[in-house]
């Protein structure tokens, strides 16, 4: 056996957790301005007041979620009077599920799964905050999904106007919005009270990506596993898509590729082949968030290229039994998520017949749907 080959029980990973996309790193650099603004907005809560509402906005993979997690870590270190609650709106996209997560954080158990109205849950939450003189800070991550479900106004209205039904309740909101969701609008009665401080997260520069990924390499791999030229290639791919997550995922997959070949080092070829999967890491996340009927519609589109909207509805109805309204809402969500696109054919009523097309390869979609 060659000297550079791994034994079956050896690994090139020193700390594989550092290469997971949901890992909250100790080293969080190049976001000092954003962190300072977040802390400024939370400061009133530390004195028992209502915090300033915040909207974090930027492209995917620019540190928005990590910044909020780091903020919440700091809050929990210094006070028990401010209760931070992080909610992933991909998984919790209705007012009831959002408030159920808040209830769970406050009372250490979930509300009953049936027989309890939203208003009872909300009343118990606001009464608890008032009685205990505590301030709630709720982070709504991927708030785009509340817009897709038409729940955004209900959720925000209930949070920011809680003091009107219970004057002792103090609640602040941090919404985390991908700039792919620009164009969403709030109801005027919500917007007039929400009035968030907007914090922009620009794409990381090449030097910043290099610094962050170099730290992950030094902490996540054993020495000499990743040569400077290999790191440069990973940085180049991540910068190309403007998404740090691509670089982190690429390091992990390249490392696994090297181990599969029993090599003690990652090669440029490992990086090149792994990129084909890592470049669509955002697609994997998107597809995981879909509901059954959304997955069904996407499967139909992937198997029926260049299908008209009318033909697609017929296929969807036959498969699910659902009516046109639900079909239209489901298609609009896939359009909003930029999973599909439409072209007008020039045929049909006034030339407005639509052709529905995938924005990704059908094979990539089916592979990630497990089909």
Angle between helices 309-320 and 324-336 (to 10 degrees): 120
Is residue 25 situated within a structural domain?
A: no
Domain boundary, last residue among 153, 182, 201: 201
Same domain, 348 and 267: no
Q: Same structural domain for residues 192 and 208? A: no
Is the residue at 276 inside a domain? yes
Q: Looking at the structure, do residues 313 and 326 belong to the same domain, yes or no? A: yes
Instruction: State which residues of the chain have pLDDT below 50.
Output: 1-3, 346, 348-351
| Residue ranges in 143-290 assigned as alpha helix (H) | 144-148, 152-160, 162-165, 188-194, 206-220, 228-241, 244-260, 268-278, 281-288
Q: Which residues pair with 81 in a beta bridge?
A: none
User: How much is the pLDDT for 231?
Assistant: 98
Q: What is the pTM of this model?
A: 0.87
Q: Which residues pair with 307 in a beta bridge?
A: 356
Question: Do 192 and 300 reside in the same domain of the chain?
Answer: no
DSSP 3-state of 69: helix
- Does 324 reside within a domain? yes
Q: Provide the pLDDT for residue 350.
A: 44
Residue 338 belongs to what domain range? 291-368
Tokens of 328: 């239209």
The angle subtended at Cα 270 by Cα 266 and Cα 274, nearest 5°, is 130
Q: Is residue 3 part of a domain?
A: no
- How many domains does the structure of the chain reveal? 3
Residues 121 and 173 reside in one and the same domain: yes
In this prediction, residue 351 carries a pLDDT of: 44
Coil vs helix vs strand at 337:
coil
Q: Let me know: does 300 contact 312? Beta carbons within 8 Å.
A: yes
Please tell me the predicted confidence (pLDDT) of residue 2.
46
pLDDT of residue 4: 60
Domain termination residue (choose one: 169, 201, 233): 201
> What is the distance between the alpha carbons of residues 150 and 152, in angstroms, rounded to a whole number?
6
CATH of the domain at 310: 1.10.10.10
Q: Are residues 45 and 184 in the same domain?
A: yes
Within a domain: residue 83? Answer: yes
CA distance 261 to 304: 39
Of 284, 308, 331, the position where a domain reaches its end is 284
In a domain, 252, yes or no: yes
Residue 10 in domain? no
CA distance 206 to 94: 38
Claim to verify: residue 310 and residue 197 sit in the same structural domain: no
State whether 350 and 308 are in the same domain.
yes
- Same domain assignment for residues 174 and 50: yes
Q: What are phi and psi of 359, to 5 degrees?
A: -95, -5
Question: What is the rounded distance in angstroms from the CA atom of residue 161 to the CA atom of residue 170?
Answer: 9
Same domain, 183 and 232: no
Per DSSP (E only), the strands in the chain are: 54-58, 82-88, 135-141, 170-178, 197-201, 307-308, 340-344, 354-358
For the domain that residue 270 is a member of, what is the CATH number?
A: 1.10.8.60
Are 12 and 252 contacting, i.e. CB atoms less than 8 angstroms apart? no
Would residue 310 count as lying in a domain?
yes
**315 and 187 in a common domain:** no
What is the pLDDT at residue 8? 60
Same domain, yes or no: 147 and 226: no
pLDDT for 349: 47
Q: Are 357 and 343 in contact (CB under 8 A)?
A: yes
Residue 136's domain is classified under what CATH number? 3.40.50.300
Q: Is 207 exposed, middle or buried (0-12, 13-18, 19+ CB in 10 A)?
A: exposed
């Amino acid at each position: 056996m060659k000297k550079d080959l791994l034994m079956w029980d050896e690994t090139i990973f020193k700390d594989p957790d550092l290469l997971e996309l949901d890992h909250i790193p100790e080293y969080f650099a190049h976001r000092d301005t954003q962190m300072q603004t977040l802390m400024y907005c939370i400061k009133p809560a530390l004195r028992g007041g209502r915090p300033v509402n915040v909207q974090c906005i930027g492209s995917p993979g620019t540190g928005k979620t990590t910044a909020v997690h780091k903020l919440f870590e700091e809050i929990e270190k210094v006070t028990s009077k401010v209760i931070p609650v992080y909610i992933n709106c991909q998984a919790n996209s209705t007012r009831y599920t959002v408030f159920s997560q808040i209830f769970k954080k406050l009372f250490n158990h979930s509300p009953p799964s049936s027989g309890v109205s939203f208003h009872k849950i909300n009343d118990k939450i606001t009464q608890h905050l008032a009685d205990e003189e505590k301030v709630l800070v709720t982070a709504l991550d991927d708030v785009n999904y509340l817009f897709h479900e038409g729940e955004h106004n209900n959720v925000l209205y209930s949070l920011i106007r809680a003091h009107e039904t219970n004057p002792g309740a103090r609640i602040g909101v941090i919404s985390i919005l991908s700039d792919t969701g620009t164009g969403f609008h709030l109801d005027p009665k919500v917007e007039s009270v929400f009035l968030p401080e907007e914090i922009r997260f620009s794409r990381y520069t090449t030097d910043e990506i290099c610094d962050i990924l170099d730290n992950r390499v030094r902490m996540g791999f054993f020495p000499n596993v990743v040569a400077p030229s290999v790191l440069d290639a990973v940085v180049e791919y991540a910068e190309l898509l403007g998404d740090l997550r691509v670089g982190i995922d690429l390091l992990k997959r390249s490392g696994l590729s090297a181990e599969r070949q029993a090599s003690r080092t990652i090669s440029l070829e490992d990086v090149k082949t792994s990129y084909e999967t890592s470049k669509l890491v955002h697609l994997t996340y998107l597809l995981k968030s879909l509901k059954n009927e959304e997955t069904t519609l996407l499967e139909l589109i992937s198997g029926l290229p260049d299908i008209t909207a009318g033909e697609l509805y017929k296929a969807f109805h036959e498969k699910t039994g659902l009516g046109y309204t639900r079909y239209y809402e489901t298609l609009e969500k896939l359009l909003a998520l930029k999973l599909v696109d439409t072209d007008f054919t020039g045929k049909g009523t006034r030339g407005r017949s639509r052709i529905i097309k995938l924005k990704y390869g059908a094979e990539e979609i089916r592979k990630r749907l497990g089909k």
